[in-house]
Amino acid sequence: MSKILSGGVIFVKVSVRKNYLHAAYSLSVIAAGLVVLISLFGDLDLDRSREFAVLIVLGILVEWLAVDFPLGRLSGGFSLVMASLLIYNLSASVWISSVAFFIGSGIAGRGNTLRTSIFNMSQQVVTLYGSVYLTTLVWGREISATLLVSAPSGSFVQLFCMIALYFGINHLLVYLYAYPGREGARMHSWKDTLRWDALSYFFSTPFGIVMALLYHKTGLMAVLLLVVPVLAVQFILRLYVRSELVNRELRAVYEITRRLGSRAALDEIPGILLKEMRRAVTFHTGVVYLRRDEDRRFKSAAAYGPYREQLKRDCLIPGEGFLGWVVNNGDPEIVFDSKVDPRVKSDQGLPQVLRSLLAVPLVGETGVLGLVVVGEKRAMSFSEQDLEVAVSLCGTVTAALSNRILAGRMEDWASRDPLTGLLNRRTFYHNCCRVFERFPAAGGKKIALIMMDLDILGHINEGWGQETGDRMIAYLGRILKSVDMPESQVARYGDDEFALLLPGFDERKALLLAHEIRGELADCVFSEEYPLLRIKVSVGLAVAPEDGESFDKLLKAASRALDRAKRNGRDRIVTASDLKGPTAGRSGWIT
């Protein structure tokens, strides 16, 4: 499974903690909507039930064909809201629009949960009731088709204000509902949402008014006939929105290509991918994992959304859980609803808080280089088209990622000794100079340098063979590589020389470390064929700033100490401070 700290528990706790107010708000809207529905039921003219049923069926059709996007939906349903309000009254309009909206947007293939559908219906009820009630309170009269004909100037002003209030209340309620997830990535801005929704109102309102005016002459036939152009306009809006989405996909591809062409560093590529993917695919949370060569695990390289801090510490193990299976399989996968999909129902982490998931492996010539995972809290948020777009964008990045990884490996190989895997002399010197730039020795921070020489390596090569000598060198390299200190630098400095730079170490701590290394070498049975053969080393140690305030001076001091250790009989430690007094070199007798 994907392990994020203690599994998915932290995700769940954070989610619960942040959603108390959100749950209270949702329940308040639902309660208010149900209260309004119940209170208005008595004002319904049930003799017109058949007409109500026809309008509900038409409303379901319009809502079913609506265009969904993350912060709302584009629908011509407002034309039926307007028509029923002007033909009948507020009670009929509220009940017709709420039932049509509940069935059309909730049950008819939209993938919303029952709770979400009830909230959306209640929001519709509160919005319509609030806007009509406020305008009626100000003007002292209810709006109707008859009033539009008899007093058009004042009535149209009242109608315009009602529509403006409806628009404002609706988006205020949506904003408050979406606010807990505002940290997450969103492809569409509120500016886009307002613009697109305003277009739907602009086209729907005239049709609703004409339906109401013609109803008194032709009955429901006018409504039936005018629904067709409403659906046509809605289809045109769908094409318009889709064209904008395609343009954003192309823009995302262009931006990724442009930024990769500017020679972005390897650690910048995952962040670029997530940022530009948001142009084309909407997601609440996203993370990019990259493969680590040392243990073949996949470490989080970039994350976006409210859980990004937890995700930055996440690590995937191939074969464990759904995401691990995707890594091994190498094929992109889509999860429509994590609560019912058997592949992820028992997984911890992201599947516990995100209902919809896209998982796209970054597959290069050498295998799977990484994994991109994006998710939404709502079920059925992604389609096969979204998966295709994500695969296309990830494919654009994969080639550049492969090249950067290959270049990084070549640079790493060029900077390391092939036998031990330690830094070579040139890279070690360069890195140590940079350490001294970041931590000036004169600033009170101690920096120790240990120079180490394999004793009588030449005799071992002659007596036991070159292979035995190489094995000794490799074994000592493994021990030194295990020295894991912040900013430490470890290198094979020469044929039989090794060096360790230890920022933050004074002479005492460096001496203890040197003795530990010599003790581990002394206790090691290096070869079963030659059980008496041991690895012995001579050690020279210097500490900045006492023995040198620059790396060059510190290196000379440590080298002099190492030379004294070898001249005094090898297999000992000599510090640069020993060379300054009458007891020069005596510390080397401590073994």
Q: Is the pLDDT of residue 5 over 50?
A: no
Instruction: Quote the pLDDT of residue 176.
Output: 80
Q: What digits encode the pLDDT tens for the residues 536-545? A: 889 999 999 8
Per the rule left: phi > 0, alpha: psi between -120 and 50, beta: everything else, 7 is left
Q: How many Å apart are CA 99 and CA 101, to the nearest integer?
A: 5
So what's the pLDDT on residue 106?
64
* Model confidence at 561: pLDDT above 90: yes
Sign, CA torsion 424/427/433/438: negative
pLDDT of residue 53: 92
Q: What is the pLDDT of residue 309?
A: 84
Q: How would residue 552 be classed by pLDDT, with cut points 50, 70 and 90?
A: very high
* pLDDT tens digits, 510-541: 999 999 988 888 777 666 666 667 778 899 99
**Where in the chain are the domains?**
42-249, 266-414, 425-589
Q: What local confidence, expressed as pLDDT, does residue 421 receive?
A: 86
Contact 538, 571 (CB under 8 A): yes
DSSP, res 68: E
CB 234 within 8 A of CB 76: yes
First to last CA, the chain: 49
Task: Report, as an integer, the average pLDDT of 428-446.
Answer: 79
Q: What was the pLDDT predicted at 3?
A: 36
Q: What angle do CA 186, 191, 196 make, to 5 degrees?
A: 95
Instruction: Say how many C-beta atoms besides its own lie within 10 A of residue 367's C-beta.
Output: 11
- Rounded to the nearest 10°, the torsion over CA 401, 407, 410, 412 is -80
User: What pLDDT digit, counting tens, does each position of 131-150 carry?
Assistant: 999 999 998 888 887 777 77
Tell me what pLDDT residue 574 has: 93
Q: Which of 70, 591, 127 is nearest to 381 (CA)?
A: 70
Q: What is the mean pLDDT of residues 415-440?
A: 86
Q: Give the side-chain half-sphere CA count within 13 A for 392.
A: 17
Please give the pLDDT value at position 591: 41
Higher per-residue pLDDT: 564 or 154: 564
pLDDT of residue 187: 43
Place of tokens 């070199």: 585
- Which numeric CATH code is attached to 42-249? 1.10.1760
| Mean pLDDT calculated for residue range 416-430 | 89
Please give the pLDDT value at position 442. Answer: 47
**3-state SS string for 293-342:** CCCCCEEEEEEECCCHHHHCCCEECCCCHHHHHHHHHCCCEEECCCCCCC
pLDDT class of 499 with cuts at 50, 70, 90: very high
Decide if 371 contacts 397 (C-beta within 8 A): no
Residue 369: partners with Cβ closer than 8 Å, 6 or more residues away? 290, 291, 362, 363, 398, 401, 402, 405
Distance of CA 503 to the CA centre of its chain: 35
Q: Is the domain defined by 266-414 classed in CATH 3.30.450.40?
A: yes
Least confident of 34-38, 310-314, 340-344, 440-444: 440-444
User: Helix (H, G, I), strand (E, B), or coil: what is residue 542?
Assistant: strand
Question: What mean pLDDT comes out for the span 15-32?
Answer: 75
Is 259 a residue whose pLDDT tops 70?
no
What is the dihedral sign for C-alpha 337, 341, 346, 348? negative
The predicted pLDDT at position 222 comes to 79
Asked if residues 276 and 255 have their Cβ atoms less than 8 Å apart, the reply is yes
The more confidently predicted of residues 45 and 71 is 45
- pLDDT at position 243 is 75
The matching CATH number, chosen from 3.40.140.10, 3.30.530.20, 3.90.1640.10, 3.30.70.270, for 425-589 is 3.30.70.270
- What's the pLDDT tens digit per position in 79-124? 889 899 999 999 999 999 999 888 877 655 455 667 778 888 899 8
Measured between alpha carbons, how far is 548 from 42 in angstroms, rounded to an integer?
94
142 dihedral zone (left: phi>0; alpha: psi -120 to 50; beta): beta
Mean pLDDT of 160-176: 88
**Cα separation values, 282 from 68, 189, 190, 199, Å:** 12, 11, 14, 22
pLDDT at res. 11 = 42
Spatial separation of the C-alpha atoms in residues 138 and 162, rounded to whole Å: 11
What is the residue-averaged pLDDT of the chain? Answer: 80
Three-state secondary-structure class, residue 498: strand
The owner of tokens 């243990």 is 295
| 473: three-class secondary structure by DSSP | helix
Average pLDDT (41-57) is 90
Q: What is the pLDDT of residue 549?
A: 86
**Residue 110, beta-bridge partner list:** none
Q: Look-up: residue for tokens 């009940």?
A: 95
What's phi and psi for 358, nearest 5 deg? -120, 130
Tell whether the model's pLDDT for residue 559 goes beyond 90.
yes
Does the pLDDT at position 15 exceed 90? no
pLDDT digits (tens, 9 = 90+) for 286-310: 999 988 766 678 888 889 888 888 8
Number of Cβ within 10 Å of residue 172's Cβ equals: 11
Q: Is the pLDDT assigned to residue 10 strictly greater than 50?
A: no
Please tell me which residue, 220 or 374, carries the higher pLDDT value: 374
Q: Are 109 and 99 in contact (CB under 8 A)?
A: no
Q: Which of 184, 179, 395 is nearest to 303 (CA)?
A: 184
Give the pLDDT of residue 478.
Answer: 87
- pLDDT digit string, tens, across residues 333-347: 999 888 888 898 888
Give the pLDDT band (50/70/90) at residue 501.
very high
Q: What is the mean pLDDT of residues 487-500?
A: 90
Least confident of 52-61, 244-253, 445-454: 244-253
Q: Is the pLDDT of residue 583 over 80?
A: no
Q: Which two tokens stand for residue 115?
A: 């709770």
Percent of the chain past pLDDT 90, that is, above it, reads 23
pLDDT for 180 equals 45
CB contact at 8 A, 371 and 361: yes
Taking the C-alpha atoms of residue 446 and residue 320, their distance in angstroms, rounded to an integer, is: 44
pLDDT, tens only, 175-209: 787 654 444 334 445 566 777 778 788 888 888 88
Predicted pLDDT at 562: 93
Residue count (the chain): 591
Q: Binning pLDDT at 50, 70 and 90, where does residue 582 land?
A: low
User: 500 pLDDT exceeds 70?
Assistant: yes
d(CA 391, CA 397): 10
